[in-house]
Structure 1
Amino acid sequence: MSIDYKEIGQRIAKRRKELGFKQYQVCEMIDVNYKYISNLETGRSAPSLELIMNLSDALRTTPDYFLVGTEKRRSIDKNMTDKICNLSQENKILLDGIIDVMLDKQK
């Protein structure tokens, strides 16, 4: 199995554009050179594992999206968990009731 850096770059560019970011903004988020991001997105440079991890955090996805083109559910689950952790205790109780109602309707 060979690694297609051009496809990885296309996924990076696609995700960046979906979020409305310019290349320079992503560079600032992950502390890399503008030319490097350009080279990644065109497949002229190969990203390190560390860079893939940093990009997945900055672009709110999972590393597997860039590497193989699929996004695992854990990204969504983690996002929801993070949001719930930031709720007040009162709102957590309210959310628990809402989830119960949704699950009952789903049956």
Structure 2
Amino acid sequence: MKLDYKEIGRRIAHRRKQLGLKQATVEEMADIGEKYLSCIERATSTPSTEVLMRLAIALDTTPDEFLVGTVRQQDEAWRDVAELLRPLSPDQLSLAQSFLTWLNEQPPK
């Protein structure tokens, strides 16, 4: 399978814009060099696997969104749950963990 770096760059740019982030902000979050993201988005530079992973983390997605253009629905569900948990206090997180442990012990229907 040959990777289309133009398309990968377009997908990265789309996700960044979807989140309302500037290139410089994402570069800082992903700990990559200044202007490197611009080069990746325009396909004038080929990102390493490590850089793709850092960008995926910074842009709160999975590398497959960039590589093949899809985010598995299961990943979306996990992301939605994570977003609900993010603002909780330590006590609330403990309660959520207890509930999830109980729920996991229930037989599937």
- One-letter code aligned to 2:21: F
In structure 2, what is the Cα distance between the partners aligned to 1:75 and 1:4? 23
1:86-101 paired onto structure 2 within 5 Å: 87-90=92-95, 92=96
Structure 1: tracts of 5 or more residues without a match: 97-107
Q: Report the TM-score when normalising by structure 1.
A: 0.74
Equivalences, count: 95
**Per residue, is there more helix in 1 or in 2?**
1
Structure 2: tracts of 5 or more residues without a match: 101-109
Deviations 1:65-90 (A, max 9, x none): 00000001343343315728963455
In structure 2, what is the Cα distance between the partners aligned to 1:70 and 1:29? 22
Distance 1:88 1:8, change over 3 A: closer
CA-based RMSD: 2.7
| Aligned structure 1 segments of 4 or more residues deviating by more than 2 angstroms | 73-79, 84-90
Report deviation, 1:33: 1.5
Q: Report the TM-score when normalising by structure 2.
A: 0.73
Report deviation, 1:3: 1.1
